[in-house]
Structure 1
Amino acid sequence: MQVRTSLAALASNSSVQILRNLVVAKPSDRACDIFINHRGADTKGNISGLLYERLSKMISLHTFLDKKSMDPGDKMLSEIDAAIRNCKVAVAVFSPNYCKSYYCLHELALIMESKKRLVPIFWNIQPSGLMVKNIKKYDPNELHRFRWALEEARSTVGLTFDSTKGDWSELLSKATEAVLRNLHEVEEEKKRGKEEEAITSSPFGSV
């Protein structure tokens, strides 16, 4: 089933082409496509919330944003960890207070350990500013894990945005475009993997 959307509302022609190539099931029938890792106090009311609404409604993709994607009675940590492990692409919205949160750092580390495609958004912070805060409250293993994840994020090309002078519409369009492109690449890699597996398992092997 192809994604249902209004093509006129999409950010660009390249977004249209990517969506045409994406074949997905209904959100209720599959794992989430996109996981948004963020510090709620900083960005849920702006970029994280806006991106979630755009991806969930305009493009009809299954996007996970903590409490917005859970029901009363759900176990928060287990639901979040499962969503990360089962997603196709992760978006990390880094903000000034991001690195003060154990949960943000844990989610980022799990994203990296699960080898998920990452789209970083540096919101009012530069990549060089990503450093673990309050290091004394973490044990050595956690500290190493969090520092490694942040280093991986710093070395990943992302979007940098200053909310005092940046263009919000342009940011949302670029973020949407990046997510769609990565989703398409993940689907293509999965398709190639299945084709290679089929050739390997064939009694005739590769020709």
Structure 2
Amino acid sequence: MQRSSTARSNICGQILQSRKQVQTNNNPRPCDVFINHRGIDTKRSVAGLLYNHLRRDLRLRPFLDSKNMKPGDKLFDKIEGAIGQCKIGIAVFSPQYCDSHFCLHELALMMETKKKVIPVFCDVKPSELRVKDYGNCPAKDVDRFQMALEEAKYTVGLAFDTLAGDWSEFLARASDAVIKNLVEVEQERLISRKQKSVPQFHCRTYIKNLNN
């Protein structure tokens, strides 16, 4: 428990520090967690509570369309920009999730941009999730949706029953999952930065040194 608290404190501190640097440079501020959800099912329950908890209690910067968008925003530009800049994603699957090709488009974008995605199966089992093709969606998009959905279904996630589940326990588990994934992303970023800073070793230089 103490290790989890320490990791949570460290990652939140790093995020807040990077946020200050972004504000100093007057650049758009990226979100930490993109919440992909079906509004009709979960906006006023799981998705909304997750957003408030991550923002208020963990001081992170989550993205939820109804909270982060304002009249006049270009829908696709705003959503796709948030997905491209976010560190991780949460996909809240619900009974009517697959009825929305827009939800599936967001999921596909997260998978295609190699984001870490935490699946939350809310009142639905993974086996019940199927892409529904009503004939009004291009075949290539249907394929994208199916691939993304299959990847999400075989990713370890959280299950929650909104009628019988313990909400406080769910939020605690979701918080731990978010923090652990943010820590992993931050560690991978630091490793990548160190690797890029190491001078590249060229074969010609090696041969030249041998001949001298």
Contact preservation (8 Å) 1:35, 1:63:
yes
Question: What letter is aligned with 1:59?
Answer: L
Shift in Å at residue 202 of structure 1?
A: 8.5
Alignment partners' CA distance in 2, 1:202 and 1:102? 48
Identical amino acids, percent of aligned pairs: 46
Larger gyration radius, structure 1 or structure 2: 2
Contact preservation (8 Å) 1:18, 1:184:
yes
User: Which has the larger displacement, 183-192 or 195-204?
Assistant: 195-204
Contact preservation (8 Å) 1:100, 1:134:
no
Instruction: Give the alignment's Cα RMSD to 1 decimal.
Output: 2.0
Shift in Å at residue 20 of structure 1?
A: 2.8
Alignment-derived partner of residue 7 in structure 1? none
Question: What letter is aligned with 2:108?
Answer: A
Alignment partners' CA distance in 1, 2:132 and 2:146? 10
Alignment-derived partner of residue 191 in structure 1? 190
Alignment-derived partner of residue 7 in structure 2? 18
SS in 2 for 1:200: coil
Alignment-derived partner of residue 4 in structure 1? none
Q: Encode CA deviations 1:23-50: one digit per residue, 9 max, x unaligned.
A: 0233873311100000011001011000
Alignment-derived partner of residue 122 in structure 1? 121
Q: Encode CA deviations 1:120-163: one digit per residue, 9 max, x unaligned.
A: 00000001111012442222101101100100001100001112
Alignment-derived partner of residue 102 in structure 2? 103
Q: Normalising to structure 2: TM-score of the pair? A: 0.86
Alignment partners' CA distance in 2, 1:198 and 1:53? 38
Q: 1:14 to 1:95 in 2, by over 3 A?
A: farther
Alignment-derived partner of residue 181 in structure 1? 180
SS in 1 for 2:95: coil
Contact preservation (8 Å) 2:133, 2:142:
no
Alignment-derived partner of residue 42 in structure 2? 43
Alignment-derived partner of residue 52 in structure 1? 51
| Gapped regions of structure 1 (runs ≥ 5) | 1-11
Question: What letter is aligned with 1:20?
Answer: S
Aligned length: 194
User: Which has the larger displacement, 106-115 or 128-137?
Assistant: 128-137
Q: Normalising to structure 1: TM-score of the pair? A: 0.88
Shift in Å at residue 62 of structure 1?
A: 1.0
SS in 2 for 1:26: helix
